[in-house]
Amino acid sequence: MRKKIISPLSFLCLFLWFTGAARAEDGYRLWQRYDLLQNKPLVKEYQKALGQLVVQGSSPTLSIIEDELSTGLSGLLGQPFSAAENPEKKNVLLVGTPATSPVLKGLGLEDKLKAVGKDGYLLLSRKAGGKNYTVVAANTEVGALYGSFHLLRLLQTQQRINNLDISSSPKTQHRILNHWDNLDRTVERGYAGFSIWDWHKLPDYIDQRYLDYARANASIGINGTVLTNVNANSLVLSEEYLKKVKALADTFRPYGIKVYLTARFSSPIELGKLKTADPLNPEVKAWWKNKVEEIYRHIPDFGGFLVKANSEGQPGPQNYNRSHADGANMLAEALAPKGGLVMWRAFVYDDKVPDDRHKQAYTEFKPLDGKFLPNVMVQVKNGAIDFQPREPFHPLFGAMPKTPLMMEFQITQEYLGQGTHLAYLAPMFKETLMADTYAKGKGSTVAKVVDGSLDNHYHSGMAGVANIGNDRNWTSHPFGQANWYTFGRLAWDYNLTSEAIADEWIKMTFSGSPTLVSTVKQMMMGSREAVVNYMTPLGLHHLMGWSHHYGPGPWIKDKPRADWTSVYYHRADEKGIGFDRTRTGSNALSQYAPEVQALLQNPATCPEDVLLWFHHLPWDWKMKSGRTLWDELCYKYSEGVDSVRAMQKDWDSLQGQVDKERYQQVKQYLAIQEKDARWWRDACLLYFQTFSKRPIPQALEKPAGTLEEYMKIDPKFAPGI
């Protein structure tokens, strides 16, 4: 046989591939780029410390660990790093659980392991039997996988690993992505192409993307995925589709990711041909019980159902004069023997109740506290309206102590510039999580409600509405990846700071160059506030255009429901602007604890960033800056535009430090964002000026168009509708 000779050219190609230099940076690799680290002394230190990789035992998850570490370490350290036991080598990277690895079992880590629970892990430096171990230890194989990703992150972000003593475990038990993906592959409020689930080719074709999706999620601790839209199609519960769901569940299982489905409440009628879906009807109950049996035959570790009921036209128990608890409990009874969960959404607002929409979820759900079965979690959006750029925390947090409440964040930027605006959401998520409900006195943060610690709940969870599509870079905007990353990191540990998360994401996604890291971090940290300022400053909300939700539409009125219009929310008139939610208005404030009410009910103490959320104030109201409310509004809108321009400057300064592909994409998106920011500012100020009848302050840039022109803009075929 002819001996294979590697030509110099192939060798060069191989080398370039290995170092990542020849690959176009299309963003597909997310934060999992394992390119050769540029810090040579540190690379040497890592090579020495890690020595060889030892993963004892065999299972699908252990193979994944071995592959990920071999690939990751080979790439980062620039030399092959495969798993092999070489008794000669003194330094060992040892990964596993006491059950899979006799060597690890011998290290006496029982007590430390007990403390980290099912999903947690330890990263330790240990000496034993003449060897130096870097240990990734956990109680479960999935825990060891999480720990392996942590170790890789330490290297990617160039941390020292010589004296490791890390123990980590998640704050919330269920860390779940919610895909609003339809079976025809459109994605409701999705801005990154079509759904990644290729239902037509399932179950026979397993796209590599599914595996990379699972890797990415596991790397940030996400352990569940709801595959389908909450505006649900019962077809997904049919035998034909369950086979497809099974294929995905089998793919995700070794990564510790459970599959959940949305359950359309009327499925017994649509699939089962019953005459009713009444949750108290014995035939309906039997239908769901059988359906659950069928699902578990295909997917023995099925996670459960997410349900949107009696909300925005979805069917639900109220169609039969039953309560949300009746509906949720009927499904929970069917799932309980299998260990499944019901995540019942509290995003409801009744068209028959002419009350402030802010109040309706609380009004319906608070009386049901204590009436749900133990395997029901009520899933509550961060705020009471709908994922606005800034919302005060939802009054249900802290108000249902007998019910585990799950957080629902929106990662996809429906109201924050969708697929083209840079808005780093960690500060927004943290703002809600750290808000104090005062439910049990000072320090009763939303985070403590959500992690179950405030009221001692067994179940706890966070859901994030995914921003993922089949765009090559997954999220349309390269910085959208940061929000997916952030969601996972905060669901694992909400105490991480926004800066720390940004820091690690930037280093893993771009590079560790100090100027790049500090410049990009500065852009990210101010970006959400920039969006708030050019869209809805000072507590304004729901000013977006009809249906597409992309651009401004403060003039929207006369729609089928008042609370689908903008005028309902801003209430601008000749006297002033804002929604009075105090005692003199809708009194939505009464749904919060007295301490929260005390702070918010007085416009003089109410934080100005939510002022017009709770108060209707005159145009000449004196703000803390000394300006009138009108002038302040003008300044805030302008500040929003200026911040985007500052981001543009920052990004421009990075030319040559970021690969060409991503540099150009972000640059163009920032130009779109700047244009849109001006559109928002000019349209909103011109519109509100028709009421305030005051000039835009001299020092500020004046609108480029007329109000009539802005009111005519109507983007056709905007994505995600």
Identity of the residue, 188 or 493, whose beta carbon is nearer to ligand GCV in the bound complex:
188
Q: What is the DSSP string of 273-299?
A: --S---TT-HHHHHHHHHHHHHHHHH-
Identity of the residue, 436 or 563, whose beta carbon is nearer to ligand GCV in the bound complex:
563
Q: Is 231 in the site for ligand GCV (CB under 6 A)?
A: yes
Coil/strand/helix, residue 562:
helix
Distance CA 398, CA 448 (A): 9
State the minimum distance, in angstroms, from the CB of residue 672 to ligand GCV: 22
| Both structure tokens of 659 | 């690969």
Identity of the residue, 175 or 308, whose beta carbon is nearer to ligand GCV in the bound complex:
308
Is residue 312 flagged as an active site residue? yes
Is residue 386 flagged as an active site residue? yes
Binding mask 382-401 for ligand GCV (x = CB under 6 A): ----x---------------
State the minimum distance, in angstroms, from the CB of residue 229 to ligand GCV: 6
- Among 66, 278, 326, 386, which one carries the catalytic annotation? 386
State the DSSP code for 567. H
φ, ψ for residue 55, nearest 5 deg: -120, 105
Residue 247 and residue 255 in contact, taking contact as beta carbons nearer than 8 Å: no
Among the listed residues 308, 322, 459, 489, the single contact to ligand GCV using CB under 6 A: 308
Identity of the residue, 175 or 189, whose beta carbon is nearer to ligand GCV in the bound complex:
189
Identity of the residue, 180 or 550, whose beta carbon is nearer to ligand GCV in the bound complex:
180
CB contact set of 76 (below 8 Å; sequence gap of 6+): 34, 35, 36, 37, 43, 46, 152, 155, 156
Identity of the residue, 356 or 503, whose beta carbon is nearer to ligand GCV in the bound complex:
356
Identity of the residue, 180 or 687, whose beta carbon is nearer to ligand GCV in the bound complex:
180
Binding mask 250-289 for ligand GCV (x = CB under 6 A): ----------------------------------------
Is residue 414 flagged as an active site residue? yes
State the minimum distance, in angstroms, from the CB of residue 567 to ligand GCV: 18
| Both structure tokens of 376 | 């029901």
Identity of the residue, 180 or 637, whose beta carbon is nearer to ligand GCV in the bound complex:
180
State the minimum distance, in angstroms, from the CB of residue 673 to ligand GCV: 21
Distance CA 134, CA 124 (A): 6
State the minimum distance, in angstroms, from the CB of residue 417 to ligand GCV: 15
Residue 433 and residue 490 in contact, taking contact as beta carbons nearer than 8 Å: yes
Give buried/exposed letters for 237-260 (b at 16+ CB in 10 A, else e).
bbeebbebbbbbbebbbbbbbbbb
Type of residue numbered 657: Q
State the DSSP code for 119. T
State the minimum distance, in angstroms, from the CB of residue 180 to ligand GCV: 5
- Among 85, 184, 293, 312, which one carries the catalytic annotation? 312
| Both structure tokens of 577 | 């602007």
Q: Is 230 in the site for ligand GCV (CB under 6 A)?
A: yes
CB contact set of 260 (below 8 Å; sequence gap of 6+): 176, 224, 225, 226, 227, 302, 303, 304, 305, 306, 341, 343
Identity of the residue, 311 or 591, whose beta carbon is nearer to ligand GCV in the bound complex:
311
Residue 460 and residue 174 in contact, taking contact as beta carbons nearer than 8 Å: yes
Residue 339 and residue 374 in contact, taking contact as beta carbons nearer than 8 Å: no
Q: What number of chain residues touch ligand GCV (CB under 6 A)?
A: 9
State the minimum distance, in angstroms, from the CB of residue 347 to ligand GCV: 5
Identity of the residue, 180 or 619, whose beta carbon is nearer to ligand GCV in the bound complex:
180
Beta strands 304-307 and 341-345 are: parallel
Cis peptide before 203 (omega within 30 of 0): yes
Distance CA 292, CA 298 (A): 10
State the minimum distance, in angstroms, from the CB of residue 387 to ligand GCV: 7
Q: Is 431 in the site for ligand GCV (CB under 6 A)?
A: no
State the minimum distance, in angstroms, from the CB of residue 191 to ligand GCV: 12
Query: Looking only at residues 319 through 358 of this chain, which bind ligand GCV when binding is defined by CB under 6 A?
Result: 347
Q: What is the DSSP string of 376-402?
A: EEEEEESSSSSS-SS-PPPTTTTT-TT
Edge-to-edge strands, sheet with 91-96: 52-55, 91-96, 131-138, 121-128, 165-168
State the minimum distance, in angstroms, from the CB of residue 437 to ligand GCV: 22
Query: Looking only at residues 153 through 182 of this chain, which bind ligand GCV when binding is defined by CB under 6 A?
Result: 180
State the minimum distance, in angstroms, from the CB of residue 704 to ligand GCV: 29
CB contact set of 38 (below 8 Å; sequence gap of 6+): 511, 512
Number of H helices, E strands in the chain: 23, 15
- Among 66, 278, 391, 414, which one carries the catalytic annotation? 414
φ, ψ for residue 53, nearest 5 deg: -95, 125
Q: Is 186 in the site for ligand GCV (CB under 6 A)?
A: no
Distance CA 169, CA 480 (A): 26
Among the listed residues 26, 35, 67, 188, the single contact to ligand GCV using CB under 6 A: 188
Measured at the alpha carbon of residue 696, what is the angle toward residues 669 and 413, in degrees to the nearest 5? 30
Identity of the residue, 182 or 601, whose beta carbon is nearer to ligand GCV in the bound complex:
182
Q: Is 189 in the site for ligand GCV (CB under 6 A)?
A: yes
Which residues contribute to the site for ligand GCV (CB under 6 A)? 180, 188-189, 230-231, 308, 312, 347, 386
Catalytic positions, please?
A: 312, 386, 414
